[in-house]
Structure 1
Amino acid sequence: MKITLVLLTLNEAIGIKKLVGRIPYNAVDEVIAIDGGSIDGTLEIMSENKIKVYGQAVRGRGEAFREAFRRAQGDALIFFSPDGNENPEDIPRFREYLESGSDLVIATRMVKGARNEEDDQVIKLRKWVNNAFTLAANIIWNKKKYVTDTINGFRAITKKTWNILALDGPGYTIEYQSSIRAFKRGLKISEFPTIEMNRFDDREGSPALPTGMAFIKIFLHELKIGGNWKPL
């Protein structure tokens, strides 16, 4: 199986500088970047390191996933955000699950041996909300082993699975939608624990309220359509 590592970037010069030497290039067959319009030197750093970059015609994380599947040569894609949250040392772990027949592989922050970035805080709002969305999706659609982290973006998807799921979710809903539709189709989902680290800079990730509302909207959309969508 050929595997493509996809770097999702938008003004991640700080992260790329720190991580480009830590990427386990020998664990994958191709490395590409999907860029949302960086102007901070991100593109130049990747060019210096011979990483092929494709720009997005349409902004947003969901569109970055769709562009990646249009461009990548691999049979499966691993999505990695170089902002400091995700550990590049976990990248090789995806292959064993993919080659064992998993359709979707998620690095989970929600099991023993894992860490969510809010675990050191008393109020863990994002974690609690994520767990609530995960619980709802499992109760309604999952007929197999409970999946603990339906939302984390550090995941791998095979091209065959991508075509089956035909994801159209916008922005940060793309991961949640992929988990929900994989439940609906009874696909094989695997998880392994990951340590979510702190971001390299003080920029906030996805804005909490708009992202939460978007998740509710995609959840209701998936309730409405049931299993009625056409594969690619």
Structure 2
Amino acid sequence: MSISTVLLAYKEAENLKVLLPQIKKQLDSTGEKYEIIVIDTEKPLDNTEEVCKQFGAQYVNQKYPKFGGAFRTGIECAKYDKFLILDSDGSHNPKYIPAIYRAMKPDIDLVIGSRYTKGGRTNDSRTSVIMSHCLNFVFRIALGIRAKDISTDYRLYRTEQLKKVKLDSENYDILEEVLLKLKLLNGKLRIAEVPIVFKKRLFGESKRALIPFMISYLKTLLRLIGIRIKHTLGK
């Protein structure tokens, strides 16, 4: 096994100074070959490139717009058989990397660092937690995904599978889109969840805008339901 570790960055240089050494330490503990790829904005907005050089991470500017475009850029750049992604703002503690790695058994397609499985916890605001639970419930039922936390991007995928799916969402809803399309690709999606504690970001402010976020998710929900129905009828 070898691991491509991807972080999507939008003015996260200060956070990366803290995270990159921690990520390297945890990846070293797996004993596997790895690469760390930081996907920055199309045009640099801070000194992320210099931070990457300092800590030996590969620096790449995203090819496509918004969060979804950065995610797709990361998939294209990954060259190893496992694809690990986590937030670059410090909300995902790298200390969980070894447990997530160990959970990727031969019969597992995807491992999620989960806030909502037994032992998991989130330190997000009450409003955000309520919204997250509602979102997870609706998408879980609508898409038939058997996991408790499907709106987090602390995940370990099989890179070959990721490269086979065509992803269209531009925003954070790509996290649900990829689950459905992996499920349709495989006939089923075998998921393991590892409990994590979700923390508040280290430095900077959240990049999520509430209204566009909600509208995007609603549109994606309807689109993905349509894809699922079409796939079922086509069998």
TM-score exceeds 0.5: yes
Query: Which position in structure 1 is the counterpart of 2:38?
Result: 33
| Contact residue 11 and residue 42 of structure 1 kept, 8 A | yes
Moved more, 17-26 or 191-200: 17-26
The 2-side partners of 1:179 and 1:90 are apart by 21
Deviation for aligned residue 1:197: 0.9
Kindly tell me: are residues 108 and 40 of structure 1, through their superposed partners in 2, closer, same or farther at Cα, counting changes over 3 Å? same
For structure 2, the 5+ residue unaligned runs are: none
Q: Secondary structure at the match of 1:203?
A: coil
Structure 2 equivalent of residue 180 of structure 1: 180
Q: Which residue of 1 aligns with 2:208?
A: 206
Aligned to 1:116: 122
TM (norm. structure 1) is: 0.87
Distance in 2 (alpha carbons) for counterparts of 1:17 and 1:79:
17
Aligned length: 223
- The worse-fitting range, judged by mean Cα deviation, of 181-190 and 11-20 is 181-190
Distance (whole Å) between structure 1 residues aligned to residue 64 and residue 164 of structure 2: 23
8 Å Cα contact 1:142-1:183 kept in structure 2: no
Q: Partner of 1:84 in structure 2?
A: 90
Q: CA deviation at 1:227?
A: 5.7
Match of 2:227 in 1: 225
TM-score by length of 2: 0.86
C-alpha distance 66-183 of structure 1, shift in aligned 2 (>3 A): same
1:228 positional shift: 4.7
Residue 164 of structure 1 deviates from its aligned partner by 4.5
Q: Deviations along 1:15-44, whole A, 9 cap, x unmatched?
A: 011122211231352211111143221110
Report deviation, 1:52.
1.0
Distance in 2 (CA, whole Å) between partners of 1:20 and 1:132 is 33
Q: What runs of 5+ residues in structure 1 fail to find an aligned partner?
A: none
Q: Which deviations, in whole Å up to 9, do the C-alpha atoms of 1:79-129 show, x marking residues without a partner?
A: 1222121101111222222243321211111133212122xx5xx222222
How many angstroms apart in 1 are the aligned matches of 2:201 and 2:229? 37
What secondary structure sits across from 1:226 in the alignment? helix
Distance change >3 Å, CA 141–CA 204, structure 1 → 2: closer
Runs of 4+ in 1 over 4 A off after TM superposition: none
- In 2, distance between residues paired with 1:140 and 1:149? 14
Q: Partner residue of 1:93?
A: 99
- The CA distance in 1 between the partners of 2:75 and 2:138, in whole Å, is 28
For the aligned residue pairs, the C-alpha RMSD in angstroms reads 2.0
My pick for the range that moved more, 214-223 or 134-143, is 134-143
Q: Which has the higher helix share?
A: 2
Q: Structure 1 residue 131 and structure 2 residue 133: aligned? A: yes
Task: State the alpha-carbon separation in 1 of the partners of residues 163 and 16 from structure 2.
Answer: 30
